Amino acid sequence: MALKRSIRGQVPPFIVMDVMAEANRREVAGEDVLHLEVGQPSTGAPSGVIEVAQATLVSDKLGYTEALGIDPLRERIARYYGETHDIDLAADRVVVTTGSSGGFMLAFLSAFDTGDRVALADPGYPAYRNILSALGIEAVAIPTTIDDRYQPTPELLDRVVRETGAIDGLIVASPANPTGTMLAAAEMKALTGYCDANGIRLISDEIYHGITYEGAGETALSFTDNAFIVNSFSKYYSMTGWRVGWMVVPEDLHRSVECLAQNLFISVPALSQRAACAAFDCREELDANVLRYAANRELLLRELPKAGLDRLAPADGAFYIYAEVGHLTNDSEAFCRQILAETGVAMAPGTDFDRERGRATVRISFAGDTATMGEAARRLQAWLPGAG
């Protein structure tokens, strides 16, 4: 007799991780790979973070912390909102999380019940959709286009509600993965106002704040206290493997989040929390990383069209270029496999980010070094000379 299996675990794979695994196998076999598939800074944590971590390993026994995080880190995060957004935020509303992924889990579990409906833009980060699915929450796609800058709008939300029924939540990301597009202040204000007026719980993904090229990122916290604000030390702060992030939590859900965090995670790793306190004082080093991303972005926006990849989303922030490749293929997964096999350039197929239209798109990460971006562009130009 077959043993029982939960349908919760039968979610689609995160294809980018599969691409990375194949690229790693190629490297182990002695072949070269240019990594443009993974959304991970090529730099390690800043030196100030490393120094604190080393000192902490010597002086601290690194036991459990409170489920909501250590007070010095929560207080420093609250001060960040005053420095960056002129918001007077109480540290009690800050929750330290196991990366942004832990934050999304806590937000979804505290705000939504099985069968609730949460809207999110397509294309969008696939883990939103897959975590919601695993929790029995319906992910409602908002098909966006370049005309909307791949971002939801009140008008698009009205259309989704008319066509599919009421929604209970909305996830927005600015800067967005995979498109790099951003919401301006007026657009964020319109979305937060729409959600508050219609009883929709907003989750604002702000993990790429600090990595912007066309103005600073706007936080939903400037316009509402009812939203979850999710951020992370992974991207701008270059601390992906440390698995530490944070949320600003609506006051009415604070205790629910605390109880869930106690039971699900116990606490975020103490070493990561103590080291993260120093990250805010490493701006010079971190901004130098952003200058490199900006140079990579400029290089690729100039060189990719020479390979026939000229249908590009505006990369306002983050470190991605989202390209339409429907004139070259109707199977982006096979297209990316072929490019990897024949050129060594690893890219992410769009099917990760948009199930319906992703067969005609790819995502290119420019988080690496500039020399890698230049070599990748040269190989793509040789492999796809003007797509002609």
Kindly report, as residue ranges, where domains of CATH 3.40.640.10 are found in the chain.
7-45+283-387, 47-281
pTM for this one?
0.92
Quick check: 387 pLDDT over 70? no
CATH 3.40.640.10 for domain 47-281, yes or no, is yes
Query: Percentage of the chain with pLDDT > 70?
Result: 99
| Torsion over CA: 146, 150, 154, 156 (sign) | positive
pLDDT tens-digit readout, 371-386: 999 999 999 999 987 6
pLDDT tens-digit readout, 171-218: 999 999 999 999 999 999 999 999 999 999 999 999 999 999 988 999
pLDDT tens-digit readout, 142-184: 999 988 899 999 999 999 999 999 999 999 999 999 999 999 9
pLDDT tens-digit readout, 99-151: 999 999 999 999 999 999 999 999 999 999 999 999 999 999 999 998 889 99
pLDDT at 386: 62
CATH 3.40.50.720 for domain 7-45+283-387, yes or no, is no
